[in-house]
Amino acid sequence: MVEHDSATHVHDVIGIGIGPFNLGLAALCQPIDALDAVFLDENERFDWHPGLLLDCATMQTPFLADLVTLADPTSRYSFLNYLKASGRIYAFYIRESFFMLRAEYTQYCRWVAGQLSNLVFEQRVEQIDYDEAVGCYRVIAVRPATGEPTVRRARRLVLGTGPARYWPAGCDGLDGPVCHAADYLAHREALADKASVTLIGSGQSAAEVFHERLASAGSGQRLDWFTRSSRFFAMAYDKLTLELTSPEYIDYFHGLPEHTRHRLGQAQKPLYKGIDRDLSDAIYERLYEKDLHGSANVGMQANTTLLAVTRDAARNEYVLDLLQAEQGLRFRHRTQALILATGFSHRVPGYLEAIADRIRWDGQGRFRVSRDYAIDAAGDRIFVQNAELHSHGFTASDLGMACYRNAVILRQLVGREVYAIERRIAFQNFDARRWASVEAGAPHVESDRETP
């Protein structure tokens, strides 16, 4: 590949990936004249889970958790300003709901993206290396449609490429009508004439797809839902639990030993992978109505893990090997179509290979993320968005904490607190050392936390 080095200009920061987190950071960067920032994305425009823009699907965070408001309530890029500009603020007010529709959130993000001058789409990052002579990173990207390369330089990086679709073992590359839930809408019509459809997975996405498929279940189509979760649980949304999405809980979680954080991460999955209570109720109501009219042709089974999938081409079916964990019972299930609502997993982007020695890693080959979201050896050159579940807890993927994280990252980029950063918002305490005596002999707490 022949590189075309269009300029020797060095940006202050390059953001890679333009999802909600980096889009919010770009919006907060825009008013800062002293900061030279540019954000790159391989897509033609902002797109966020287009395969899940189902009718009536809502966000799980209140509208105040938009791209900018919790960092800068006066920002022109707020959701309320979008509503005003689009002539819909009174309709939203009369609707009396804190939760915007998911399609509405996508439209809002595109509205913001259309006003920002620091976004460059159709740029797929292929490689990043370090220019020792200049003391900056070189970001090599290509235009997907043409393969035309460009080279940009920056002193700092913010990685926001996000997680990739997770395919259970043996499912990636299967022939026939199988799809990940994130691509559901593109496959919806193809599922209409199938005699049976099976959904694997848990959480909001699985529930949304199941709820929509229920309209077809019983009218000639069988619908089954298997999840390895212990139950079809609703997301915890009580106020004291929500205090875990706070700066001081991040302080506490980050300061715990790695093995403790891992254990907590497993136990806390219901806090962010559950089903919205209204949707859970709606599913039950639809099941009840179908049962009343004798038209329910539905199966639901929790505690069940998918072990393997094979394709029976002669019968045009998938054969699923499943295990009910509590009973230790293995069984088989046949279906004509398969939807995998198995979520996403983090992978180290291949474009980091050339600078891997400049990045800090933990014992499991993951980013070793500082309290201020940096992963480089110096602690102030490479930052991550939504890649710190193992170090900062479930707030990593929480849209409600995105503005907080972006304000912290901006403080590191600019060298001052551009947007006020909250230190304490919770009524409860998490760190017991608050109660411990400061005298000699006070309990010692093992920690690998770094000083911010």
Please determine, for residue 17, whether its predicted confidence score (pLDDT) is greater than 70: yes
Residue 437 lies in a domain: no
Could you tell me if 396 and 389 are in contact, meaning their C-beta atoms sit under 8 angstroms apart? yes
Residues 183 and 118 in one domain: no
pLDDT band at 201 (very low <50, low <70, confident <90, very high): very high
Query: Over the stretch 87-134, which tens digit does the pLDDT of each residue have?
Result: 999 999 999 999 999 999 999 999 999 999 999 999 999 999 999 999
Residue of 434 and 364 predicted with greater confidence: 364
* 348-402 confidence digits (pLDDT tens): 999 999 999 999 999 889 999 999 999 999 999 999 999 999 999 989 999 999 9
> Residue 106 sits in a domain of what CATH number?
3.50.50.60
Q: Are residues 19 and 91 in the same domain?
A: yes
Domain assignment of residue 62, yes or no: yes
Same domain, 35 and 95: yes
**E-assigned strands of 202-343?**
222-226, 298-301, 304-312, 317-324, 329-335, 337-341
Query: Total domain count for the chain?
Result: 2
Residue 339 has pLDDT above 90, yes or no: yes
Same domain, 322 and 197: yes
Q: Which of 148-152, 265-269, 312-316 has the lowest mean pLDDT?
A: 265-269
User: Residue 210: is its pLDDT beyond 50?
Assistant: yes
Same domain membership, residue 155 and residue 26: yes
Going by pLDDT thresholds of 50, 70 and 90, the confidence category of residue 448 is very low
In a domain, 448, yes or no: no
20 and 144 co-located in one domain: yes
Q: How far apart are CA 167 and CA 386, in angstroms?
A: 19
Tokens encoding 348: 């180290």
Q: Is residue 2 assigned to a domain? A: no
Is pLDDT larger for residue 304 or for residue 451? 304
Q: Are residues 159 and 186 in the same domain?
A: no
Q: Among residues of the chain, what percentage have pLDDT more than 90?
A: 71
Q: Look at residue 7 and tell me whether its pLDDT is greater than 90.
A: no
CA dist 227 and 235 (Å) reads 15
pLDDT of residue 66: 97
- For 36-81, the DSSP string reads -EEEE-SSSS--S-GGG--TT-B-SS-TTSSSSTTT-TT-TTSHHH
Is 319 found in the same domain as 190? yes
Domain boundaries, position 33? 10-163+346-414
97 and 203 together in one domain: no
Residue 28 lies in a domain: yes
If you search the block for the tokens 């940006």, which residue do you land on? 11
Q: What pLDDT shows up at residue 5?
A: 45
Q: Which helix (H) or strand (E) holds 163?
A: none
Q: Is residue 423 part of a domain?
A: no
- Do 326 and 225 reside in the same domain of the chain? yes
Q: What is the mean pLDDT of the chain?
A: 90
Q: If you average pLDDT over residues 30-44, what whole number do you get? A: 96
110, 46 contact by CB (below 8 A)? yes
The residue with greater pLDDT, 352 or 449, is: 352
Across the range 210-229, mean pLDDT stands at 86
445 pLDDT exceeds 90? no
The mean per-residue pLDDT over the stretch 333-353 comes to 93
Longest dimension (CA), the chain: 75
Quick: pLDDT tens for 269-284.
777 778 888 899 999 9
245 inside domain: no
Backbone angles phi, psi at 278, to 5 degrees: -65, -40
3-state DSSP assignment of residue 159: strand
153-194 per-position pLDDT tens digit = 999 999 999 888 898 888 877 888 999 999 999 998 888 889
Residues 170 and 128 in one domain: no
- Which domain-ending residue is among 344, 371, 397? 344
Same domain, 325 and 359: no
Q: Using the predicted structure, report yes or no on whether residue 55 has a pLDDT greater than 70.
A: yes
Burial 37-70 (b: 16+ CB within 10 A, else e): bbbbbbbeebbbbebbbbeebbbbbebebbbbbb
Q: The pTM is what?
A: 0.90
Residue 447, pLDDT score = 45
- Does the residue 174 lie in any domain? yes
Band (pLDDT 50/70/90 cuts) for residue 449 is: very low
> Residue 39's closest CA among 64, 4, 67, 66?
67
